[in-house]
């Protein structure tokens, strides 16, 4: 009985300590390989904004990947001043490898998320069936009635003649090329059913040049994202006040949490001195649940044990009443 009592008391101490969890230092990784990971993005649960929760992964701490309905794709770059990611689709054709027919699902995004396909993307399709696809320069009617030109593919596109890394390569071969700007992922899939391969080129900003030479084409899919700006996050990151925190959220409640140095959590910022256990990492929260369940069982067992002990003990002095009972 004494051993059981000590075990239940230990369980109570565990649940008391677990009710004030803290995040271990270095919870929020700020990079994956060579790609920086900053607010609002995060690769650890509870880091960044909950809008982007579980959408990015870091494979072996070297490769950042974006989850989408069409697959999981490597992320080759991130820009937070002009918020966007550059995603690589391995099924896309590039000049770096010989041309082969690839019938794969084109890259697509979930429109319910805060990610969106950038208008700076251009999609190129190769060797399309001209009985199914209108392979011709963009008709003038498209400027006036764009909804009538879903099947029009501009064979005189600039990018077809100036593919990144192999300018003029298609003019010497037997490949046909046309440029297309779809309005939705479904039109991309429709095009690919009637074309042998595709690639996506985005226009990369060149900061040291003037328009129209301040952009150049490069392979990849530009995915734009939003940066939610909140007063609490600005206070958390305000280095002038000595805050130096990282904006995060509670994985259970999704409430804002300012993650401070050493893994401490604060509901406001790291400079106010009011640190709470609110917003622990998913692992810590899971441990809290386990400890809570164990402690609940322990407390229940302790109560039953003491009741049994009291009921079997003979009262030799005084009257056993509600006033002098332990329970």
Helix or strand run (H / E) with residue 5: helix 2-18
Q: Is the pTM of this model over 0.95?
A: no
- Predicted confidence at residue 31, as pLDDT, reads 94
Structure tokens at 127: 């060797």
DSSP secondary structure letter of residue 147: G
- Only one residue has tokens 């400890």, namely 291
- State the 10-residue block means of pLDDT for the chain, 327 residues long: 48 41 60 95 94 92 91 94 93 79 74 88 89 79 72 81 82 79 72 86 81 83 92 86 81 90 72 48 34 42 46 40 35
Identify each DSSP E strand in 269-313 by its residue range: none
187: left (phi over 0), alpha (psi -120 to 50) or beta: alpha
pLDDT of res. 160: 87
User: How high is the pLDDT of residue 223?
Assistant: 95
Closest CA to 85 of 62, 67, 111: 67
166-172 CB contacts, 8 Å cutoff, 24+ apart: 166/95, 169/95
Q: How far is residue 229's CA from residue 233's CA, in Å, rounded to a whole number?
A: 7
Q: For residues 52 and 254, is the Cβ–Cβ distance under 8 A?
A: no
Q: What is the distance in angstroms between the CA of the first residue and the CA of the last residue of the chain?
A: 18
Which residues are within 8 A (CB) of 272 and not within 5 positions of it... i.e. 6 or more apart?
Answer: 266
Which tokens in the block code for residue 107? 């890259």
Helix ranges (DSSP H) in 67-145 = 141-144
Q: How far apart are CA 247 and CA 232, in angstroms?
A: 8
Instruction: Check: CB of residue 246 under 8 Å from CB of residue 49.
Output: no
CA distance 60 to 310: 58
Sign of torsion, CA 161 167 172 176?
negative
Buried/exposed 1-29: b ≥16 CB within 10 Å, e otherwise:
eeeeeeebeebeebbeebeebbbeeebbe
CB 3 within 8 A of CB 290: no
Residue of 255, 257, 237, 233 whose CA lies nearest to 245: 237
The sign one gets for the Cα dihedral 24, 225, 116, 103 is negative
For residue 206, cis peptide bond before it (omega within 30 degrees of 0): no
- Give residue-wise pLDDT tens across range 69-110: 888 999 999 999 999 999 998 888 888 777 776 666 778 888
Q: Is 303 helix (H, G, I), strand (E, B) or coil?
A: helix
Q: What is the pLDDT of residues 6-18, one digit of tens each?
A: 444 444 444 433 3
| Whether the Cβ atoms of residue 200 and residue 132 lie closer than 8 Å to each other | no
Dihedrals phi, psi of 263, to nearest 5 degrees:
85, 5
Judge whether 274 and 265 are in contact, CB under 8 Å.
no
């Amino acid at each position: 009985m004494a051993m059981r009592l000590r075990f239940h008391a230990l369980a109570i101490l565990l649940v008391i300590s677990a009710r004030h969890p803290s995040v271990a230092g270095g919870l929020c990784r700020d990079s994956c390989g060579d790609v920086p990971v900053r607010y609002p993005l995060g690769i650890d649960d509870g880091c960044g904004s909950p809008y982007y929760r579980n959408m990015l992964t870091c494979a072996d701490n070297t490769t950042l990947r974006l989850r989408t309905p069409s697959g999981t794709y490597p992320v080759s770059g991130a820009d937070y001043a002009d918020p966007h990611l550059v995603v690589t689709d391995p099924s896309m054709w590039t000049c770096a490898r010989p041309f082969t027919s690839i019938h794969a699902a084109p890259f697509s995004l979930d429109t319910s998320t805060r990610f969106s396909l950038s208008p700076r993307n251009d999609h190129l399709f190769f060797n399309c069936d001209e009985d199914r696809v209108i392979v011709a320069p963009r008709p003038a009617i498209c400027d006036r009635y764009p909804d009538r030109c879903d099947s029009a593919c501009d064979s005189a596109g600039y990018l077809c003649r100036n593919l990144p890394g192999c300018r003029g390569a298609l003019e010497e071969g037997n490949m046909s090329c046309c440029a297309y700007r779809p309005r939705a992922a479904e039109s991309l899939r429709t095009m690919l059913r009637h074309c042998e391969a595709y690639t996506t080129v985005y226009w990369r900003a060149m900061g040291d040049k003037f328009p129209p030479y301040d952009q150049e084409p490069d392979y990849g899919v530009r995915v734009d994202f939003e940066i939610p700006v909140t007063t609490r996050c600005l206070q958390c990151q305000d280095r002038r006040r000595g805050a130096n925190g990282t904006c995060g959220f509670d994985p259970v409640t999704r409430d804002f949490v300012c993650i401070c140095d050493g893994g401490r959590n604060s509901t406001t910022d790291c400079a106010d001195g009011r640190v709470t256990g609110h917003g622990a990492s998913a692992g810590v929260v899971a441990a809290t649940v386990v400890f809570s369940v164990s402690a609940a069982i322990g407390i229940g067992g302790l109560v039953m044990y003491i009741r049994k002990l009291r009921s079997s003990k003979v009262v030799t002095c005084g009257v056993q009443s509600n006033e002098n009972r332990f329970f």
